[in-house]
Amino acid sequence: MISLKSSSSTSSSLNSDFHGHRFLVQELEGIPKKGNIQYCSFSLNAQMKTGIIGETQKWWEKGLQPNMKEVKGAQDLVESLFNAGDTLVVVDFFSPGCGGCKALHPKICQLAEMNPEVQFLQVNYEEHKSMCYSLNVRVLPFFRFYRGAHGRLCSFSCTNATIKKFKDALAKHSQNYCSLGPPKGLEKKELIALAANKDLSFNYTPKPEQPTSVPPTLEEILAETAQTPPSHSEAEPSVSPPLPLPLPLPLATGSNAAKGTEDKTLVASGSRLRRMRMASQIKKFKDALAKHSQNCCSLGPPKGLEKKELIALAANKDLSFNYKPKPEQLTPVPPTLEEILAETAPTLPSHSEVEPSVSPPLPLPIPLATSSNAAKGIEDKTLVASGRRLRRMRTFFSRAMHCLAISSCTD
């Protein structure tokens, strides 16, 4: 047998046409004679790294990261999405003959290396055409993002020129959060389409849907809530009536079944009504909390409970609570408008006081200017001037008050 040597022969063997197929090798010793030829067959499987003859690595297998995986079939895709939990899963649909997929592959590998917490699933369109047709994949390259209970988050197609769309979606949906509920994975219609595809060995049994009751109308809710209150005799009967004997259960006829369905509908509507009331009460509580939780300073001591509540607590014999109400101070009654006007508008002086009709007396003859007479005359002049000034002040004040009273009355 021939032993394969490395170095010189390996570099030329990479361009050979064997690509891992089986071939025959004959061993010759001296001159070839009849019957001395021995045939042996073996297979050579090698990789490009070692330099031995073998098949070259395909472009979609280069640069793969630990978080990148090629999907083997429909069952593998469904299980991978279900087992991912809350991890973001990016499904990459590609084709070996797609130039855009080949140009975009190195950047996808680089993004997978930069985001090790994200799982990348690769689906070869040429090997899984039927599955891609059932998943409604019509363009390549095509990407779908899945996560937890939310299921499919987004789906789009992008090329090397529009790689920003892929980066934005990856940054948006790669945030850490916990979803409530089991992982959803593929949509229900997609699972049904995969199960209906005869080319795939995939089975799916949809869960039976629970019948949803029809929501009641506003008139029914109002008729339910607005019931006539029971009378006092019905609410508190003096003598309890005897309990009736239980009736035998009726047979399950059509009318009984319809009545049972109606009762279930009424129960569902009643529970929905209770939920609506609870939601409205919660909303009122939130509004009141937002309204009264603002910071403000009140003038005066804290008030606490109302006075009638404190008196009721003190009157309760089962509680050891004492309360002595403070004596109420009489608050003065504010004066009315008539009283204010009567106080501010005094009686006007008469016409005789303001403008006397009697003419003043004639001036007396001036006496001789003696020392006593001179002092007396100065004093008389001062008194006369002060009297005139006082009269003028009274007149001005009375006219002003009169005008003020008239203006207030007109207003």
* Full DSSP string of 78-147: HHHHHHTTTS-EEEEEE-TT-HHHHHHHHHHHHHHHH-TTSEEEEEETTT-HHHHHHTT--SSSEEEEEE
**Do residues 325 and 311 lie in contact, with contact meaning Cβ atoms separated by under 8 Å?**
yes
* Full DSSP string of 359-402: PPPPPPPP----HHHHHHHHHHHHHHHHHHHHHHHHHHHHHHHH
SS3 209: coil
98 is catalytic: yes
Provide the 10 A C-beta neighbour count for residue 94: 24
The enclosing H or E element of 344 equals: helix 337-344
* Full DSSP string of 176-207: ----SSS---S-HHHHHHHHH-TTS-----PP
297 is catalytic: no
The dihedral region occupied by 217, where left means phi > 0, alpha psi between -120 and 50, and beta the remainder, is beta
d(CA 215, CA 217): 7
Provide the 10 A C-beta neighbour count for residue 1: 8
The dihedral region occupied by 11, where left means phi > 0, alpha psi between -120 and 50, and beta the remainder, is alpha
Local structure of residue 33 (DSSP, 8 states):
-
119-124 sheet: strands from edge to edge: 68-70, 119-124, 89-94, 142-147, 151-157
Catalytic, out of 98, 158, 297, 409 = 98
Provide the 10 A C-beta neighbour count for residue 52: 16
Catalytic, out of 101, 178, 296, 409 = 101
How much is the CA Rg of the chain, to the nearest whole Å? Answer: 53
Q: Which residues are catalytic?
A: 98, 101
